[in-house]
Amino acid sequence: MRILSWRLILALIVGVSLVSIASSWYEVQTQKEALRRDLDYKSATLGESLAVTTELCLATQNRAGLEQMVGRFSNREHLIGIGVYDNDQSVMVITPGINSSG
């Protein structure tokens, strides 16, 4: 009888542990996917808003405006940087922290 109760306790511990691990794994995966979707949305929104300003500066050949726009985003902690390239993929304006060769 004592062996049966120890087996039952051990089986319950293993079962609860497995359910907890599976639940935690699922929650982490769900959160990672939600964060990825949020990052994709924010980056697309930022790209679209910067595209309008960049196109306006390029149309008026306002290089100082481009440099000012890029400079505003050079000190953001969650943004690596911004680069503006011309049609032959040479750098026009880039934030200082980005390697322009890559």
Residue 93 has phi, psi (to 5 degrees) of: -145, 140
pLDDT computed for residue 72 by the predictor: 82
Residue 33 lies in a domain: yes
Segment (H or E) for 91: strand 91-94
Q: How many domains does the chain have?
A: 1
| Spacing of C-alpha 53 from chain mean position | 23
Residue 100 lies in a domain: no
What parts of the chain have a pLDDT lower than 50?
none
| Spacing of C-alpha 89 from chain mean position | 24
Measured between alpha carbons, how far is 36 from 55 in angstroms, rounded to an integer? 28
Q: Which domain holds residue 83?
A: 2-94
Residue 80 lies in a domain: yes
Q: The whole model's pTM is what?
A: 0.62
Q: Which residue, 46, 37, 40, 93, is CA-closest to 70?
A: 93
